[in-house]
Chain A
Amino acid sequence: MAPPLDRDQALRLLATMWRIRLFEERAGQLKRADEVVGLVHLSVGQEAVAAAVCLQLRDDDAVYSGHRAHGHAIAKGAPLGRVLAELMGRDGGLCRGLGGSMHLVDVEHGFMGATGVVGGNIPVALGSALAARLRGDDSVTVVFFGDGAVQAGHFNETVNLATLWRLPLILVCENNGFAEFTPRSAHTNVERVSDVVAPYDIECITVDGNDAPAVWDAFGGYLAAARTGEGPFLVECLTHRLRGHYEGDPGQYREALAAAEWQERDPILRFQRQGIAEGWLADDAPPAVEAEAADAVEEAVRFAQASPFPPVELIEAMVYAHA
Chain B
Amino acid sequence: MAHELPFIAAIDEAIRLEMERDDSVLYFGQNMATTENEPYVDAFGKDRVRVTPISETAEIGMAIGAALAGFRPVVELYMAEFMLVAMDQVVNEAPRFRAMSGGQVKVPLVLKAGFGFTAGWAGQHTGTIGALFMGVPGLKVVMPSTAADAKGLMATAIRDDNPVVYLHHYLLTLEHGEVPDGEYLVPFGEAAVRREGGDVTIVATGWTVDRALGAAEQLAAEGIQAEVIDPRTLAPLDTQTILESVDKTGRLVLVDQATRHASVSTVIAGEVAEHGFSSLKAPIVQVTALDATIPYSEPLEAWVMPNEDKIVTAVQQVLGSSPVAA
Instruction: List the interface of chain A (C-beta within 8 A of B).
Output: 62, 93-99, 103, 105-107, 112-113, 115, 117, 120-135, 141, 153-154, 157-158, 160-161, 164, 314, 317-323
Chain B positions 38-59 with a Cβ under 8 Å from a chain A Cβ: 47-48, 52-53, 55, 57-58
The reply to whether B68 and A128 form a contact with Cβ atoms under 8 Å apart is yes
Residue of B63, B102, B105, B140 most packed against chain A (CB within 10 A): B102
Interface residue stretch chosen among B93-101, B169-177, B312-320 = B93-101
Q: How far is the CA of A129 from the CA of B66 in the complex (A)?
A: 8
Q: Is B290 an interface residue (CB 8 A)?
A: no
Q: How far is the CA of A158 from the CA of B55 in the complex (A)?
A: 9
Question: Contacts A105-B104, A121-B93, A161-B52: A321 and B98 contacting too (C-beta < 8 A)?
Answer: yes
- Within the complex, the shortest CB–CB distance from B28 to chain A, in Å, comes to 9
Q: List 26 A-B contacts (CB under 8 A).
A: A95-B101, A98-B100, A103-B101, A105-B101, A107-B105, A113-B68, A121-B65, A122-B61, A124-B65, A124-B89, A126-B61, A127-B65, A130-B65, A133-B47, A134-B26, A134-B48, A154-B58, A154-B88, A314-B102, A318-B99, A320-B98, A320-B138, A320-B162, A321-B107, A322-B161, A323-B160
CB-CB under 8 A from A132, the residues of chain B are 69
Question: Contacts A130-B62, A131-B69, A321-B98: A161 and B55 contacting too (C-beta < 8 A)?
Answer: yes
- Within the complex, the shortest CB–CB distance from A89 to chain B, in Å, comes to 11
CB-CB under 8 A from B107, the residues of chain A are 321
**Contact string, B63-103, partner A, CB cutoff 8 A, digits 1/0?**
11111111101000000000000001100110011111111
Q: How far is the CA of A283 from the CA of B68 in the complex (A)?
A: 45
CB-CB under 8 A from A117, the residues of chain B are 88, 92-93
The reply to whether A131 and B66 form a contact with Cβ atoms under 8 Å apart is yes
Question: Contacts A112-B68, A130-B66, A161-B52: A154 and B61 contacting too (C-beta < 8 A)?
Answer: yes
**Which of A93, A112, A161, A321 interacts with B62 by CB under 8 Å?**
A161
Chain B: which residue is nearest A115 at the CB level?
B93
Q: How far is the CA of A114 from the CA of B159 in the complex (A)?
A: 26
- Within the complex, the shortest CB–CB distance from B68 to chain A, in Å, comes to 6
Q: How far is the CA of A218 from the CA of B102 in the complex (A)?
A: 35
Question: Contacts A127-B61, A131-B69: A99 and B162 contacting too (C-beta < 8 A)?
Answer: no
CB-CB under 8 A from B92, the residues of chain A are 115, 117, 120
Q: How far is the CA of A130 from the CA of B68 in the complex (A)?
A: 11
CB-CB under 8 A from B99, the residues of chain A are 98, 318-319
CB-CB under 8 A from A121, the residues of chain B are 61, 65, 93
The reply to whether A98 and B102 form a contact with Cβ atoms under 8 Å apart is yes
Q: How far is the CA of A106 from the CA of B107 in the complex (A)?
A: 16
CB-CB under 8 A from B270, the residues of chain A are none
Residue of B62, B66, B92, B96 most packed against chain A (CB within 10 A): B62
Q: How far is the CA of A265 from the CA of B96 in the complex (A)?
A: 38
Number of interface residues of B (CB under 8 A): 45
The reply to whether A126 and B161 form a contact with Cβ atoms under 8 Å apart is no
Q: Given A105-B101, A124-B62, A161-B52, list of 9 further CB < 8 A pairs?
A: A96-B103, A105-B104, A122-B61, A127-B61, A128-B69, A161-B62, A319-B137, A320-B140, A321-B107
**Which of B60, B63, B100 interacts with A95 by CB under 8 Å?**
B100
CB-CB under 8 A from B53, the residues of chain A are 157, 160-161, 164
The reply to whether A157 and B101 form a contact with Cβ atoms under 8 Å apart is no
- Within the complex, the shortest CB–CB distance from A46 to chain B, in Å, comes to 23
Chain B: which residue is nearest A315 at the CB level?
B99
CB-CB under 8 A from B68, the residues of chain A are 112-113, 124, 127-128
CB-CB under 8 A from B48, the residues of chain A are 134
Chain B: which residue is nearest A103 at the CB level?
B100
Q: Is B151 an interface residue (CB 8 A)?
A: no
Q: Is B106 an interface residue (CB 8 A)?
A: yes
The reply to whether B93 and A160 form a contact with Cβ atoms under 8 Å apart is no
Question: Contacts A120-B93, A154-B88, A318-B98: A125 and B65 contacting too (C-beta < 8 A)?
Answer: yes
CB-CB under 8 A from B108, the residues of chain A are 321
- Within the complex, the shortest CB–CB distance from B183 to chain A, in Å, comes to 16
The reply to whether A157 and B58 form a contact with Cβ atoms under 8 Å apart is yes
CB-CB under 8 A from A135, the residues of chain B are 69
CB-CB under 8 A from A124, the residues of chain B are 61-62, 64-65, 68, 89, 93
Question: Contacts A105-B101, A130-B62: A120 and B88 contacting too (C-beta < 8 A)?
Answer: yes
CB-CB under 8 A from A133, the residues of chain B are 47
- Within the complex, the shortest CB–CB distance from A309 to chain B, in Å, comes to 13
Q: How far is the CA of A105 from the CA of B53 in the complex (A)?
A: 30
- Within the complex, the shortest CB–CB distance from A163 to chain B, in Å, comes to 12
